[in-house]
Structures are given as C-alpha cells and as structure tokens.
Amino acid sequence: MKKNHLFLLITIILFLTSGCSNYLELNQVGVIIGVGIDKNDDPNQPYRVTYQVLNPSGLAQGTSSADTGLAVVNYTVTGGTLLETSRKASSIIPRRSTLTHMSLVVVSEKLARKDLDSLFDTLDRSKQGRTSLPVFIARGSTAEHVLNGVEPFEINPVKSIISTSENNQKLYGVSNNVLVYDAISALSSKGKDLAIPGINIHNDSPESSQASNLEKTNPSVIEVNGLGMFKEGKLVRWLDGEKARAVQFITSDINSTVVPIQCKQGNIGLGINRVKSEIKTDVRQNEPIIYLNSTMTGEILESSCAVDLTDPDLLNRYEKRFEKEITKQIKQTIAVAQKEKSDIFGFGNSLARTHPTYWHKHQDNWRNLFSNAKTSIKVNVNITNTGMRTNSYEAE
C-alpha cells in the first residue's frame, strides 16, 4: 500500500515539474495578423507579400518601446509562390511567426486584374492557414501601401480595415465582407462570379505611413471604396455608390442603409432596416428569365418636405416612389453586370437548382445567356413609422 502511495506521489511531482515542449514565451512569438499580396515585376518572383506582425510584448502596458519594440511591424518579401514568401520571411522576422491569428488578406488591384484563381490555394491547403477571414482589394494602390498606414483610432491598419468595413456594412451597406472560402467557392463556380470590396487610403499623403499622421486634424485614414466585379477570376470593373449597394439589395446582404428621394422643398430619407430578396429563375423558349422579388422595411428618418406624414395615403404614395427609385438602382446594376457578363448575384446557381437539366446542358455558355437574359424586378417597400416626429418643421 505504501509503495502505491509513493509511486503516486512521484508521478504527481514529475507531472508538476515537467515543462510543455511546445510552450513559447511571449517575447518569442511574432503573430501575423494580416497579409498583403502585390504583383512583383520580376517574373521569376511574381509575388511581393507584406506580413503585418503583431508584437505581443510591444502591447504590454507599463513597458518602454525601446525594450519591447513597436506594437506592429510590416515585413515584405518576394517569391515565386506564397508559401515560398512565408518561408523566406523567416530570414527577416526575428520571432517564430504564426498564421493562426491572421485577420484579413489584402490583394492589390494590379494583381486582382491579372488572376486570382490560384491565389488562395496556400491558405486552403495550409494547416495554419484560415479560410474564414475577409479579403479586400487595394483599389488604385498596393496592398503594402495600405498596410503601412498609421491609423489615428486603431492600433494597427488591420484592425482599422475590419472596423471600417463592419461599420459601413451596418450603416450604409455599400459592400459586404467576403471571406476567403466564399472567394474560393465563387472562383470555382460557374453559376456565380466573385465580388470583393475595395479599400484605399482616404486623403492619402506622404505622411500616411508616418507617426506625424496622428498629429493632423485631417489625417489619412482607411476607406471602404467600392465593390470589385470579377469575371473568370479577374477584376473587370468597379461598382460605386448606389450600384454597389444594389448588389447587397439583390443578395439580401445588407443590415441598414438610407435611401433619399426629392420633393419640391428638399429631400426625404428612408432608413431601411430590413431587406429580404428572393431570386427565382425560369426557362421559356429555351431562354432563361430572372425574377427578383425584394421586400424592404424602413422608417422616415429625415424630411425637409412640407407634407403631412400622418396621412396614410401620402405614405402609400411615398412607398411607391421609394419602390420606383430602388427598382431603378437595381436594374442599372444588373444591366452593368450583364454588359460585363459577370453574374455576381448567383442567378446561375438559382437556375442550376430549379432547372438542373437545362443548366447541365448550358452551364458553359451561362455568361452569354446571362448577358441577354430578361429580368423581372419587383420591389415592395413598407414604411413602418415616421421616426420621433410626424411632420417636418416646414409642415408646421
């Protein structure tokens, strides 16, 4: 019995005194939080990749930056493949780096216009890589330049990009975050093309990547800028403003936005807080037809019109006017997509579900069929209330 107790005691002591072989101290880790991918001019090393590394010890409070280093540092390397650049980065990153906390991928517009088909292969195959992170296009710029930005409100550009994008999605809805696995799915699909939000540096200047940017009252900041439309894995054009937002109306990927219309005295703004769109497809005389039924709910958030908003008939007339305006925006956006032969809405996927035999026969020709397809758009707007006031000051 005593031998059993002695054996148990020795086992516990050995367990408590043994260390973890995989354990790393805080000052030994370099956490990669963002990756920027640019096209390099050298054909033998076509990729120029920037790794934004978070220095955990640099975030520690009460410590000197001279001892711990900066909170975030960018390292840029070139290579023939993304995997090669990640391995080559070890020659300049002084810490053991990890991709497990990576938050986003930024791709330059120049590279996006060339080809994205195989760009995400490394993230999809890698054991450390994650495909559940958003991807953005550096519009009119390089990914390296965007990730070099010094932000006034956030500790690093990666956090600023994510926060700004989420804020836009919640309040205006020009774009919706596209995750890497969504991009991979769209790139491999014949029934839906890829659309990725664009970002750039607003009020760009030579000081945008310097600490002096923080001392300006009008600093350079990250900006969500349009929606990139792709065809066959290549960026073909940008959608801005109402056209970019209309894509989110069609796909129901919108949380909140404001649509204004004019009146004699000014404007009236409808705050839309719910969108439910239903896509249906049919085939008649061997030609596809696209149907879109969209229901939107909102409230009057602003009015400079001298009208009586307590009048139900007047509200009904305004609902019809909002329906007409939103229908026009959706039709214009679909017309642009048809001109580019880029089905970023997934109409082809709908056709594949409802008419599988037809789709199997014509899927390779879907771009041409989509370009000439007839569309039927129906928008239903419900104004639920008029906010905290019934009438504008002009009407009193």
CATH number of the domain enclosing 289? 3.30.300.210
The predicted-structure confidence for 165-223, as pLDDT tens digits, reads as follows 999 988 898 888 999 999 999 999 999 999 999 999 999 998 888 888 888 889 999 99
So what's the pLDDT on residue 20? 53
333 shares a domain with 207: no
350 occurs within a structural domain: yes
Note whether 195 and 228 are within 8 A (CB).
yes
Q: Is residue 6 part of a domain?
A: no
Q: Assess whether 286 and 308 both reside in one domain.
A: yes
Domain boundary among 239, 260, 277: 239
Looking at the chain, which runs of residues are DSSP E strands? Answer: 29-39, 47-54, 72-79, 96-98, 104-108, 135-138, 195-202, 221-231, 234-239, 257-262, 267-284, 287-303, 374-385
Using only C-alpha atoms, what is the Rg of the chain? 26
Average pLDDT over residues 291-302: 96
Model-level pTM? 0.87
Q: In the prediction, which pLDDT does 42 show?
A: 92
Mean pLDDT, range 282-299, rounded to an integer: 97
Q: Who has greater pLDDT, 25 or 31?
A: 31
Q: Are residues 231 and 280 in the same domain?
A: no
Tokens of 200: 């750039």
* Residue 221 included in any domain: yes
- Per-residue CA distances from 188 to 109, 118, 333, 339, 367 (Å): 20, 10, 23, 22, 15
Residues 229 and 278 in one domain: no
Q: 390 and 308, same structural domain?
A: yes
Which residue's structure tokens are 């709910």?
297
Q: Check pLDDT > 60 for residue 335.
A: yes
pLDDT(117) > 90: no
What is the pLDDT confidence band of residue 27, given thresholds at 50, 70 and 90? low
Same domain, yes or no, for 193 and 254? no
Do 199 and 303 lie in a common domain?
A: no
The model's pLDDT over 216-256, given as tens digits with 9 standing for 90+, comes to: 889 999 999 999 999 999 999 999 999 999 999 999 999 89
Residues 303 and 210 both lie in one domain:
no
271 and 305 fall within a common domain? yes
Domain check: are 169 and 185 in the same one?
yes
In angstroms, the Cα distances linking 335 to 82, 231, 278, 342 are 37, 15, 19, 10
Which residue segment(s) compose the domain that 181 sits in?
26-239
202 and 260 together in one domain = no
pLDDT of residue 66: 44
Q: How many CB atoms lie within 10 A of CB 53?
A: 23
The pLDDT value recorded for residue 257 is 95
> Is the pLDDT confidence value at 8 over 80?
no
Q: Which of 194, 215, 239 is the last residue of a domain?
A: 239
As a whole number, the mean pLDDT across the chain is 86
Question: Residues 33-79: pLDDT tens digits?
Answer: 999 999 999 999 999 999 999 876 555 544 444 444 467 899 999 99
Q: What is the pLDDT of residue 61?
A: 46
Among 239, 272, 287, identify where a domain stops.
Answer: 239
Q: Are residues 221 and 313 in the same domain?
A: no
> What CA–CA distance (Å, rounded) separates 13 from 6?
11
pLDDT value at 392 more than 50:
yes
The verdict on residue 92 lying in a domain is yes
Residue-wise pLDDT for 152-167, tens only, equals 888 788 999 999 999 9
Predicted local confidence at residue 150, as pLDDT: 87
